[in-house]
Structure 1
């Protein structure tokens, strides 16, 4: 190890920055962020530098850098010279700042680009609110040390605090909820009771595993159990922790499946047993995903729960098919509806059939005839462009385009002999014609 990483408390201490310009300004801002009293000057003598905690030099001129470095040495103050490691007592690492949690990455001055690349990877893996965990631990440190006398039990409490339900709530921004859970876990550990777990209602997106949010990917690595929809592909499930328990609870039309009440009961049972549970839903949990019902069931049971949004099918599939849902030249509004209630108490179809509105119909392939008839009866033009996107964003994506009058015939090619269809989205509106344009452009490039 060429350099020893150290963290200095600069709160209220004098730090001198020699030089003007972007490099000097960055160092001044960094020192201020640590609470230092920063003095930025063009040049300084040894007498002026005495008593400073550190000196940063960034004049951009070698001779001036050397002169300032000599002054810092004569004053006995540690010095850093921008881009000149041979003149420096210490070097500046790449920094990941998460409040009280700070990660410093150094290549020993050999490759700042390598350190920056590593910083980007670490930043992607650490949630933005990660520093809240340190604050949470700080809040309960004295109480835990006083109340939990057995070292093994105390270690278990701290591990659960930074990895378990309280951590999940803190990372989601619910600091009050995190403190409540931490208090209950502190009491449970002291009394040797089994603490409760937490449920995360997570959107898996439209199917492409690379469209998972960072938070969703992190939670998949933390879950003890994953209750997943049938439409969540294997490629996404493979991103989960290897020893997680996978429970398929999906619903498929005309096939035996879990009742919604049974899914909610299973979530409650597992969280009460102390598990970290991810309820993994295709698309977004709050867009035709029954996520609100599951949240209500967990809250009614007094159990902790968070919600992680996902890219809903309308956005993911439309983008993949090259359809801008609200291209201002053709559409000024977009409406999400489900085709499953096309024969029941569905939406007000006349308001959906107006010109300039894009209609994104979820689960509509098997109800295409009813959707077509209701839109035509409501005044939509028979020649209105439509697109059906099946398995959107996935390797086997399939897009069919045509006219509203032919919607049932087009959808029939997406329906299997069993009467079901792959995850399909119907888009109705002028913008749907862009799917054919996108395919033509792709064919020309290929």
Structure 2
């Protein structure tokens, strides 16, 4: 991060703008939204700047720049088309320790102005470090479209009661819980709808309850993190990840997804690799209960979907037994993620009218499944955790009547940039060199739908 993002109190800032063209006008318009004092120096003045100079906040001086113009200034924008002059003003300002920005010349900027979404008092500022302004504009347009304009009401409401809440609740954690409940619940909704009187009454009642120790108990959220691509997270999953005090996560949760967890949340790894359970399942169940009883908001972040080979059912059984509230947030399971990103539809009118999800996990060097029921026409099979047992899976399917040239696909790292897809047939796949190089997590898809991979593959051709 080359540029450190900060917000500067403009109450006592005196800013110099050198130049008075259209670019300078845009900077002045932005500065005029703050209480900063502004001086513009230029021998020629555009109509836009002359109009802005009608504000008592802005002083216009129509002459060439003079070194004395830097006196008593804390910030400088340079917006001229004279490169030598721009360089000279930059050097002088830098020597005096003044923040200087030479517009459209990143190497001569000691600070840069971000792209802004203004919902004052809520302000969102973004920067690309000057390297991708068009992309930044695109992101800002997206944010403008999804952030309601009246979100500023929540900002004003929070400002109004901030000191009162701080006096009533001494703990930073208690205050955070309180405000999250306010903003996420009925109070926040009433504020957005401009029902401020009702919202104020509700806030006071809620604050009294918190202050007397009747704050909400801890809760556990079982959240499906999907197969790996963070873009496949649900909105609800992301929101809960941002609220969590503690995140308990497994091996299949990608680093890109963990980056989206709230920065100050405690992260506890309980992943399981093949033949190596870092934390036994029973201990995970008890850990979730313990953390919730301590008053934490706990997110149990699981790769794929919590209820599809995620042992989520076992975990919430423990929570029910111990009287702990919980919610379940489904995620895109590995089967749908892998098949979609590999261009292999799990069902297709010409190939398969049904699909079975099963586990290929080895136990005592064998896989105990109802093999005859898995071998049927117009059907797709998906095996989770089956890479180690691949030779057994192929052998069992052939022995129970599936033709040996049935197409099969192995998908490693589904939906991620490093995704690999290896295809073959039941009698050849285990011997392929590409197969031997694969590592878990790898999903197995068996059926004639695999033949569509070459035609429909779109992700990493």
| TM-score of the two chains, using structure 1 as the length reference | 0.59
Inter-partner Cα distance in structure 2 for 1:170 and 1:363: 46
Q: Which among 418, 440, 449 is matched to residue 431 of structure 1? A: 449
The answer on 1:358 being equivalent to 2:392 is: no
Residues 275-333 of structure 1: per-residue CA shift (max 9 Å, x gap):
11111100000000001111111121111111100000000010000001101110000
Q: Which residue of 2 aligns with 1:328?
A: 349
Unaligned runs of 5+ in 2: 1-28, 30-121, 123-137, 152-163, 189-205
Residues 215-246 of structure 1: per-residue CA shift (max 9 Å, x gap):
11111111111111111111110011111111
Q: Which residue of 1 aligns with 2:281?
A: 260
Residues 155-189 of structure 1: per-residue CA shift (max 9 Å, x gap):
98786356359969999xxxxxxxxxxxxx99974
SS at match of 1:402: strand
Q: Which residue of 1 aligns with 2:237?
A: 216
Q: Which residue of 2 aligns with 1:402?
A: 424
Q: Is the 8 A contact 1:194 1:274 kept in 2?
A: no
What is the correspondence of 1:263-302 to structure 2 with a 5 Å cutoff?
Answer: 263-302=284-323
Inter-partner Cα distance in structure 2 for 1:265 and 1:395: 35
Inter-partner Cα distance in structure 2 for 1:168 and 1:230: 33
* Cα 1:161/1:404, change in 2 over 3 Å: same
Q: Is the 8 A contact 2:246 2:298 kept in 1?
A: yes
- How much is the aligned-residue C-alpha RMSD, in angstroms? 4.5
1:256 deviates by: 4.6
Inter-partner Cα distance in structure 2 for 1:281 and 1:271: 17
* Cα 1:303/1:287, change in 2 over 3 Å: same
SS at match of 1:220: helix
Q: Which residue of 1 aligns with 2:440?
A: 422
Q: Is the 8 A contact 2:342 2:453 kept in 1?
A: yes
* Cα 1:207/1:157, change in 2 over 3 Å: closer
Inter-partner Cα distance in structure 1 for 2:139 and 2:227: 34
Q: Is the 8 A contact 1:388 1:411 kept in 2?
A: no
Q: Which residue of 1 aligns with 2:391?
A: 369
Inter-partner Cα distance in structure 1 for 2:398 and 2:411: 21
SS at match of 2:169: helix
Q: Which residue of 2 aligns with 1:4?
A: none
1:394 deviates by: 0.5
Inter-partner Cα distance in structure 2 for 1:191 and 1:426: 55
* Cα 1:270/1:365, change in 2 over 3 Å: same
SS at match of 1:366: coil
* Cα 1:374/1:196, change in 2 over 3 Å: same
SS at match of 1:413: helix
Q: Is the 8 A contact 1:165 1:198 kept in 2?
A: no
SS at match of 2:404: coil
* Cα 1:426/1:411, change in 2 over 3 Å: farther
Q: Which residue of 1 aligns with 2:259?
A: 238
SS at match of 1:262: helix
* Cα 1:316/1:329, change in 2 over 3 Å: same
Inter-partner Cα distance in structure 1 for 2:395 and 2:182: 49
Q: Is the 8 A contact 1:157 1:186 kept in 2?
A: no
* Cα 1:261/1:407, change in 2 over 3 Å: same
* Cα 1:264/1:291, change in 2 over 3 Å: same
- What is the aligned length? 310
Inter-partner Cα distance in structure 1 for 2:139 and 2:377: 53
Q: Is the 8 A contact 1:390 1:424 kept in 2?
A: yes
SS at match of 2:456: helix
SS at match of 1:325: coil
